Chain A
Amino acid sequence: EVQLVESGGGLVQPGGSLRLSCAASGFTFSSYWMHWVRQAPGKGLVWVSRINSDGSSTSYADSVKGRFTISRDNAKNTLYLQMNSLRAEDTAVYYCARDPYSNYENWFDPWGQGTLVTVSS
């Protein structure tokens, strides 16, 4: 069974840092692009970042560029999101998701269950 499990969320003060992890299982992790998508409380889905299969290429939403860093460890089947200089508006549930065919026009499937990040003093 293909499974994605996020961890690392929690409460952090504005300006602080947090690293999210997404453990993958049930598929050849190293063959797929991966994404992070977030959802603020009561709001819609917003794409955050993408990484290609070997980690050599990344993309970011303008709202997080320069503050967030996506990375992966294919030996550990794990995706990461390093979040620095956090702001209140970064408060959200963060989901990792797989791109099933590793291409730009594709969809996200499956998704993890999400991890909540709360930025507050």
Chain B
Amino acid sequence: SYVLTQPPSVSVAPGQTARITCGGNNIGSKSVHWYQQKPGQAPVLVVYDDSDRPSGIPERFSGSNSGNTATLTISRVEAGDEADYYCQVWDSSSVSWVFGGGTKLTVL
């Protein structure tokens, strides 16, 4: 089945830019979606279809996808952005929805 690889952790200082990657074989040919999950809460969609933002999500959240890597970029990071982030795709080969292992974003 299709595997999505995320770094376990990313650390960034407030006001800086955080980049969270999601690696997969030719992931650029798939639509990638990103979720934010804070402790004890349900996941929340922050980016869909590689780079679109749901209403209510700040413009600081953006996404890109090309080749074997998709990236979630969070600009001007705030303390409230500290959370786990997951990427997700649809895998037609296994007829299943696949999540990456998650990345814990720490705001220093």
A residues lining the B interface (CB < 8 Å)? 35, 37, 44-47, 50, 59, 61-62, 95, 104-114
B residues bordering A, Cβ < 8 Å? 30-31, 33, 35, 37, 41-45, 48-49, 54, 86, 88, 90, 92, 94-102
Q: List 8 A-B contacts (CB under 8 A).
A: A50-B97, A105-B30, A106-B31, A107-B33, A108-B33, A108-B35, A108-B97, A113-B42
Q: Give Cα distance in the complex from A120 to B90, angstroms.
A: 32
Give which listed residue, A44, A59, A113, contacts B99 with CB less than 8 A.
A44
Q: A70: shortest Cβ distance to chain B, in Å? A: 13
Kindly count the residue-residue contacts between A and B in the assembled complex, taking CB atoms under 8 Å apart: 59
Q: In terms of DSSP, what is the predominant structure of the interface of chain A?
A: loop
C-alpha spacing A110/B86, complex, angstroms: 15
A44 in complex: contacting residue of B42, B44, B86, B97, CB < 8 Å:
B86
